[in-house]
Structure 1
Amino acid sequence: MDNEILIVGAGPTGLTLAVDLARRGVDHRIVDRDTEFAGSRGKGIQPRTLEVFADLGVLDAAQKHGGPYPPMRGYQDGQVAWERVMAPTVDARPDVPYPNPLMLPQWRTAEILRDKLTELGGRVEAGVEFQGFTQDSDGVTAMLDGQPVRARYLVGADGGRSVVRKATGVEFIGETFEQHRIQIADVRVTGLDRDHWHIWTNAEGPVLALCPMAGTDTFQLTTTRYDSVDLPGLVREIAGFTVTDVGWSSQWRANVRMVDRYRIGRVFLAGDAAHVHTPAGGQGLNTGVQDAYNLGWKLASGSEELLDSYESERLPIAADVLGISNKLFTRGIDRRDDAMDRSDPVLRQLGLHYRDSKLSVDTRSSPGSLRAGDRAPDGLAGSRRIHEALRGPQFTVLTFGAASYPGGVVVTDAPAYDIEDAYVVVRPDGYIGMIATEAADVRQYLGRW
């Protein structure tokens, strides 16, 4: 084999997977057709993704360059018509260390992950084009720039127009709403304050928005005038401000699509290659990161049973998240003054779970509110946090009350765990694999997985 894992696509999804594999010492190669990685694109990092970033060692950099969402200010007929916050800022809790979304331009997120990958000894090969593949019982032969490359597994993380997905023949099921299109760009604007997300509306709804990008001197411009090529003129006409520079720009259509298979033999799909969302609720990038975080430890194990669980766990999640973002998008169109509750744990991806997975086992006679398959909440384990103890590529055994286990982490104060005299086995991706009352069950579980 030339490589164990070949990753096509170096956006946040592919990079998350590469970082996770690199820290495990798993041989891999990550390539991308593009030579530049620009654009603010997806700018919202949800609390669950911040926990993933903490585990991967990139949270400090994300927080250094990112920031909170500014309050929104709406204008109509040249006057301020309304002000509101996207979501209330909430305090950290013992079980949720990072409760608020972080604004971080997508190019910066990718840059931070690339820097981490370099630190771990990896690198992105830019300007490399994937041109198809064949596979057999032993591996995959991919064509890169006309040359065959052999890998044990191939991962398509190459976006909504995924060449890898198209090469598999898997259908991209869903619909495109042609009537809902916007122009999006990164611009610099003179004289506009950076303390608000500015939105200009007319009787039909939003026409232009300028959101200051945290950690930069640019604004993310969005407009429903998607046929406009003169963005400076548009901003001057509607808002009365001067655009001094237009950087990355793109036209966007409302796509709601997903695959019905995440695994095709030795090929896996992740991120936008597997599901595309509306931007409402800030779910797309985050769901892709979670795909990669779920897949990394399973690829490292090489277990066919674990690799099969990637599809069975992530496909239902994507379907649910797709429905959430589409519902929010539709509500945003139908009720433009609707103050949606963006502090909902579902939107922040803290309530996503794998309770129905074959990897989720609970041997208690009377399960509590916290179940196998749930995200492992934070808490105290002596002088350190539980999440600190979970960091790294390993399974972790938490012990409660009189329970004791060699190498286990003794939990001392964790209100979110309604557990007494029992064991909690936490998977490498921070989800609870098992809750048991007997140490023998824990040994059997760890021996299997």
Structure 2
Amino acid sequence: MRKVGTLTSALTLLVLGGLLLFDQLSDKQIIFKVLSYWPVIVFALGAELLWSLYAVKKLKINEEIRVDARSIALLCLVGVFSLVVYSQQSIQGLVQSSIVNLRDALSEKRISLPDMKFDAKSVKRMEIFNRVGTIDLRPSDSQTIQLKTKVRVQNLQSDQANQEAQSLTPLISQGETLRVEIDPAWSASSKITGVDLELLVPDNIDVQLLTDTGNVTVLNHVGNVVVSSQSGKVDLQDIKGTATVDDGNGQIKAASILGDVEIKTKAGSLDVHDIKGNVQLDNAFGQIKAGKIDGDLNITSRNGIIDLDTVAGNVEAQIENGPIHAANLQKAVTLNSSSGGITLESIVGGTWVLNSQRGNVMVRIPKDSDVEFIGESSSGTIKGPMQSNKPNESKVSEKLGRGTYQLLIRTETGSITVNPNL
């Protein structure tokens, strides 16, 4: 009896065993690629059967030809195994494709719109309005104004995101005033989350930047700057001109500005330094830091901390709830705190008026100062520059040096201390 399939079975087992061993040694998973050619086994079985028929007929051998059961079992095993592998790979590919599509749809994309350029020779002023998104203004190295726009899109696939972004191409009106406006009818949605504007602007152009929500940055600009924002950080640096900021909520930094500075915010910290002009700050809630001011400084705050250092002009600061810390104030000083102490260390170059309703007042001045000290406290000790101890008196007057400048300090509840040891 001649069996068909024995040779094919043996060769198949040798090949599978060799591939499995190779995969274990090399970790390349070649067997999964080879399994896709499993129909070769059927072809081999057919070839072996034809050869057996040919051999029996040609040699005229009276033998019965039967198919080897092991070969059939092997064929079935390999076939089932291949189907399982195909199914797993197909499902895995489908899952990976779905994950990629989902990730592509959910991830935020920044779609760049075509850049815009404008001749700046006739432009004296710019107005930029962006409802939701950042505004970044930097100097241009030519007499051309450049506008770069990036739209932030999410919950859309890439091709849909590109189409959606085109709807927010900036609206332009040009004359002596160049106005750039993102469609005012648009508001942030689940698809478009914001529009970021980057501008390159030549010198000697005044700019007004308006945004409801978004950070504003202006660096190295020659011209006056006005910023209005409901919520967002504002960063102004190296401005050769005046700076005016009206911000509802956000951190504000202003540094190296040649002109006057006026900042008003409802909540957020203020950091202002290296200002050549006068400074006026109004903050409802948050810390205020101001230093290296060449002009006068005026501060109004309701809640927070005021920290001052090195002011060449007159200083006036008042806060309802919070302390005032000051140093190196060269001219007249008026500090008022309804609830919070006052600390001042400086030479005396003008009249000082310090008033704290609830809090201690501590002052350090040089021993060679020329001041006339008057201290009043409804409830607290008073120690003047002559260091006399008069714990039971509510008013103390002393003179140090020639008494050129008045030093008037008053507290309702709190002690007063003046140390001439700076």
Pick the TM interval, shorter chain: under 0.3
Q: Which has the higher helix share?
A: 1
What TM-score comes out, normalization by structure 1 length? 0.21
What TM-score comes out, normalization by structure 2 length? 0.22
Higher Cα radius of gyration:
2
